[in-house]
Amino acid sequence: WQPLWGQWVLGVGSVPSGQPWQPSGRAVGAQGARPSLLPSALQCWEVRKHNSSEWCHFIRSNPDCQLDGGFLDYLNGVFCVFPPQLLPLAVTLYALWLLYLFIILGVTAEKFFCPNLSAISTNLKLSHNVAVFSLTSPLHGVTFLAFGNGAPDVFSAVVAFSDPRTAGLAVGAIFGAGVFVTTVVAGGIALVKPFTAASRPFLRDVIFYMVAVFLTFVVLYLGRIQLGEALGYLGLYVFYVLTVVLCTWIHRRQRGDGLAPPGPWEPEMPTDVEEPEPSGTNSGDYGEEYRPLLPSQETSLRILTTALSPLDYRKWRRKPWYWRLFKAFKVPVELVLLLTVPVVDPDKDDLNWRRPLNCLHILTSPLLCVLTLKSGAYGLYQIQGIFPVWGLVTLVASALALIIFITTSNEEPPKYHCVFAFLGFLASAMWINAAAMELVNILRTLGIIFQLSNTVLGLTLLAWGNSIGGEGSAAPQCPPGTPWGPPTILKVSFSPSTDTFSDLTMARQGYPRMAFSACFGGIIFNILVGVGLGCLLQMTGSQLLVKLEPDSPLVWLLAGALGLSLVFSFVTVPAQCFQLGKAYGVCLITYYLVFLCVALLTEFRVIHFT
């Protein structure tokens, strides 16, 4: 019975020992679904149906309650560490930790991941018109910074797809973020500043996105994704890249070398935009009025303490209280990231070279990588059962750091300084992956506590967190002097301003077309690479198939709502001659509110779908 039952019952691998049998179950066989005489195992969300005194035993003895990966066992904490009467306190602490994880994702991607990707593209001599994929620009540069801007979404999708029990989180987040961005954000931009949309980029992006949504709907309907289909997602994104590059090349050939006046598909170029305040992770960056008149040589200890300070005290005094409060929450994260992730800045004369701190990174970054890979399983592995891997990494990295410290100076970066950009890229990617793993696990825990499906958690908490984002730069993110870029007086920074507040701020500053283009162009990367790469990494040589079985009727509601919103924009925007006003924005936001109400009513079984 044990092998037969584990092979036929849907979604369960084996019979948990000591668990009661249920009278009926649902099985899937070679001929499809049919009634089963075999019982189904108890699922983890059923823990709340038991007496509170049995919660801990249920969690520890049920295989469905074991979290794969991660550093903290959230289920064991809430049901075993906290007594039942303190369950509200545990939920409150988990909710605060969830918000902090979103802050970690945003800070890591904005201040460490994207700057290092920008430095890598510069060192590889790539044209910024190809390398930059700033989601606030309709000129979709489509190589390195595409990954930087979508890193939190893609890593969350990859982690969620790694476990069939959390795949619904990925689907809900990808679809939910799509609905949110294409309705609330796009509608908010139209409300803030009516404008004329960029026609050709808009039509191109909406068509590609509708194709991607349709492919995902087909995959969910079939209930599985095979190797060819996963590669098809990535291939479609490559085709999108080639289309963007070709359209840009044709457009430039038509324009010629000079800067022609903006056409009907180009954003307006305000000439009175003030230079944005430079931002960075180093408080020692002086403005011109604070730069010392005479050069002075700082000691290594002084350089280290200055580089590790995440606060700029002059900026701190000028900011309002709520900014200070949010900054106080971010300081511990930024301090740990400064200790473990090097940042190379090609825009600075010294490339952000800080000899004592960069030598320390030679030790801390490899340690971070081995201790976060597979939740520390590789780092704690004993070589020959005697010496741990982290100890070997410490010895080798310490020797290398000492050599670099002796052979370099504080004033001049070494010729191989670009290697630190690759090290910073890898270290920041490991931070994002670790935070995404904890994020998925805590969302699954909250779903079990409140008996919510993964899909509704994905379309609400995960989608809102990734879409609203952290502190993004509101400055235009295009190369200066390009038709989509700002005037040359602006300083360009490579920060992922994909969040709602940055897009709305950009619209108020006179760039509504670029912000609107981000709503439809940026999420193409998330859905194609998130689903394609997330499923591809789960395939092995013997199992070239990943099951994607919807855990809730909300999946179909999500897909339908997203498709309908895209069709609505695809029809109404050209019908208005691409002139978008407040009526369009009100319609989109009203549409999202109605969708959200229907989704929540469906989740709580007020509305039933067969």
For residues 67 and 102, membership in a common domain is answered with: no
How far apart CA 12 and CA 25 sit, in angstroms, is 11
For residues 202 and 76, membership in a common domain is answered with: no
Give the closest residue to 516 by CA, choosing from 155, 268, 231: 268
For residues 66 and 173, membership in a common domain is answered with: no
For residues 48 and 112, membership in a common domain is answered with: no
How far apart CA 122 and CA 118 sit, in angstroms, is 6
Question: pLDDT tens digits for 321-377?
Answer: 888 999 999 999 999 999 999 999 888 888 899 999 999 999 999 999 999 988 788
pLDDT score for 541:
66
How far apart CA 201 and CA 246 sit, in angstroms, is 12
The pLDDT confidence band at residue 173, using thresholds 50, 70 and 90, is confident
Higher pLDDT, 286 or 41: 41
User: Residue 182 is part of which domain span?
Assistant: 94-127+138-253+303-323+416-470+491-609
Residue 314 exposure: Cα atoms within 13 Å on the Cβ side: 11
Greatest mean pLDDT among 99-113, 250-264, 547-561 lies in 99-113
**Average pLDDT, stretch 445-459?**
88
pLDDT of residue 274 exceeding 80? no
What is the Rg, in whole angstroms, of the alpha carbon atoms belonging to the chain?
26
For residues 439 and 549, membership in a common domain is answered with: yes
Indicate the number of domains in the chain: 2
Percent over 90 (pLDDT), the chain: 29
pLDDT of residue 290 exceeding 90? no
pLDDT score for 499:
60
- Cα dihedral 310, 311, 312, 313, rounded to 10, equals -160
Question: Phi, psi (5° rounding) for residue 126?
Answer: -85, 140
**Within 10 Å of residue 292's Cβ, how many Cβ atoms?**
7
How far apart CA 587 and CA 595 sit, in angstroms, is 12
Quick one: three-class SS letters along 390-403? HHHHHHHHHHHHHH
Residue 435 lies in a domain: yes
For residues 503 and 542, membership in a common domain is answered with: yes
Residue 334 lies in a domain: no
> 3-state class of 587 per DSSP?
helix
For residues 123 and 240, membership in a common domain is answered with: yes
Tokens of 155: 């890593």
Packed helices 87-108 and 321-340: angle between N→C axes, nearest 10 degrees: 70
> 3-state class of 212 per DSSP?
helix
For residues 76 and 98, membership in a common domain is answered with: no
pLDDT score for 35:
37
For residues 62 and 103, membership in a common domain is answered with: no
Residue 86 lies in a domain: no
Q: Tell me how far CA of residue 297 lies from CA of 287, 301, 405, in angstroms.
A: 18, 12, 17
Sign of the CA dihedral with 366 first, then 369, 374, and 376 last: positive
The pTM of this model reads 0.73
Residue 169 lies in a domain: yes
CATH of the domain at 227: 1.20.1420.30
Q: Where are the beta strands (DSSP E) in 172-285?
A: 195-196, 224-226
Residue 71 parent element (H or E): none
Residue 401 lies in a domain: no
Residue 516 lies in a domain: yes
pLDDT score for 603:
86
Residue 278 lies in a domain: no
pLDDT score for 503:
75
Judge contact between 475 and 493, C-beta under 8 A. yes
For residues 104 and 152, membership in a common domain is answered with: yes
Question: pLDDT tens digits for 425-447?
Answer: 999 989 988 998 899 899 989 99
For residues 143 and 55, membership in a common domain is answered with: no
For residues 193 and 52, membership in a common domain is answered with: no
Residue 115 lies in a domain: yes
Average pLDDT over the chain, rounded to an integer:
77
Residue 125, phi-psi category: left (phi > 0), alpha (psi -120 to 50), beta (remainder)? left
| Length, in residues, of the chain | 610
Question: pLDDT tens digits for 119-165?
Answer: 887 777 654 434 444 333 434 345 455 565 667 778 888 888 877 77
Tokens of 330: 């971010």
